Chains A and B, each alone.
Chain A
Amino acid sequence: MSFNRQHTCLASIFYGFCFLIAVKSYFDYVLLHQLHTPVIWDGGVDLLTYLGLTSGVFKSITGNQWLCYSFDTALLILPLVLVFQPQRRLLAILNFSIWLVYFLIYNLYGTHQTHALTGLLLVHIPFLFYQKPSFHWLWNGVRYYTLWIMSSAAAWKIIRGTAFHPQQGKNIYLQNQTGAIIESGITPLQSFLLSNEWLLNISFPLGVILEGLFMVGFFTKRFDRLLAILLILLIAGFRLLADATFFELLILVLPLWYSERVSKTAAPA
């Protein structure tokens, strides 16, 4: 497969995924026009967010319903256009900027710094470049960052000792599921897991080991596809056991799955 064709295929998959996330956000009532000018915010310690707050940019957007509609339309339409025209660099830059602002506003008014959309932002970057070597280096860069995400997550838990905490798995599960159980009763799965606590407690260190396996990727690309499958399993595990939905991070499977192929077609001779 030629570089151009490969670039177009990958870009179409990626922008198609962006479009799906935008549609899902609409059905989840979290597009900007659906936020109804939020009145509570928390920027964490994010300097870029505070820049948006002090400049008044975020409030200007969320405080004007027409601006919100325009922003959301761009969020939905731009990825769709880019699926068919991925080489339109200006549109790609505009799309990236809009998703970056959306990411900051979503976290700001959600009053919590979530990471789910970071995957979309990161995979955007190689597609801002259409030349072979730049795309190759950036694609590899995102691959390394994906490895960093998982291996640093394992390192955090090992260094802080929670990987060895005997009750961490159960505590996380109970912290996340109590509300659901009280709200609408216990499900058979919740009942099964809570009556077999050892399964929850063993899943946590097991998850740490699986996250740690991503360190292998820093030394070889031979296991990249296995790591891609592992990434999917871990994201499913986070959803099941920690009620953390990182569906958007699934896009990081792409740099792992296509690492060798991109190297073959786009690496400098």
Chain B
Amino acid sequence: MNWIRRTYLYQLYHYQKKLFWIVVFFAAGTLFCTFRGNQSTPFWVWGMYSAPVPSHDTGSILLMFNQSGSVIPIYTNKGFKTRFYLHSPLIYFHSAQEIGKDPRKAFFETKLPSFYSTWIYPMEEKLFTTNFTPYGSWLKNYLGQMSQTAIDSVYITQYHYIFSSDKINITSIDTLYVF
């Protein structure tokens, strides 16, 4: 049993009991969240791309254009974090428009119906986005600071594509939103 004495937790327990219990709490929380598959800071789950990614041989993608018809780069923007802040809220906005409410609110309503009506409903104004209308103005402000000029209008366009023979072919284009 000599190997047990050489372990991190054994030694920590004998040197600093308080720290030992903090580490055990953190480890237990991390294991619990990992097995549940839901993360909550600081118990993060590291399962990115562990779910099967469906084929993207056909699909659609959202692009942004300004008033003069020039593309506003989302996917090729040099700053990764800028890309994140342009792309992710746009997708969230689009999902909300498709289902008619905040997707997170819909998630909680479906997954925890009784808990939602008792505990979450009274606070839903604080927890979820109830008004998506200001998104367009926000987007123009956000883009404006990057281009250093006022953005009058932004067009969100959906490109449908087919991937075949190492090429992406556009099949149709729809303008979904004009801000």
Residues of A bordering B, CB below 8 Å: 24-25, 27-30, 34-50, 53-54, 56, 100, 103-104, 109-115, 118, 121, 133-134, 137-138, 140-141, 144, 148-150, 152-153, 156-157, 159-162, 165, 167-168, 171-172, 174-175, 178-184, 186, 191, 194-195, 242, 244-245, 247, 268
Contact = CB atoms under 8 A, between A and B. Distances in A.
B39 A39 contact: no
Contacts, number: 197
A179 B74 contact: yes
Chain B at the A interface: SS class = mixed
A182 B65 CA distance: 13
Nearest to B3: A219
Nearest to A31: B81
10 contacts: A29-B79, A29-B142, A30-B81, A34-B142, A44-B39, A46-B39, A140-B8, A157-B49, A162-B52, A179-B87
Interface string B61-91: 1110000000101111001111011011101
A234 to B, nearest CB: 12
Contact of B163 (A37, A150, A178): A178
Interface of B: 8, 12, 15-16, 19, 23, 30, 34, 38-42, 44-57, 59, 61-63, 71, 73-76, 79-82, 84-85, 87-89, 91-93, 96, 102-104, 123, 126-127, 129, 131-132, 134-135, 138, 141-142, 145-146, 159, 161, 163, 166-168, 170
Nearest to A100: B41
Contact of B126 (A53, A100, A182, A247): A53
A28 B76 contact: no
B142 A35 contact: yes
Nearest to A175: B56
Contacts of B126: 53-54, 56
Contacts of A110: 84-85, 88-89
Chain A at the B interface: SS class = helix
Contacts of A28: 79-82
Contacts of A140: 8
Given A157-B50, A183-B75, A133 B89 contact: no
Contacts of A167: 55
Contact of B40 (A46, A56, A152, A159): A46
Contact of B46 (A103, A112, A134, A156): A156
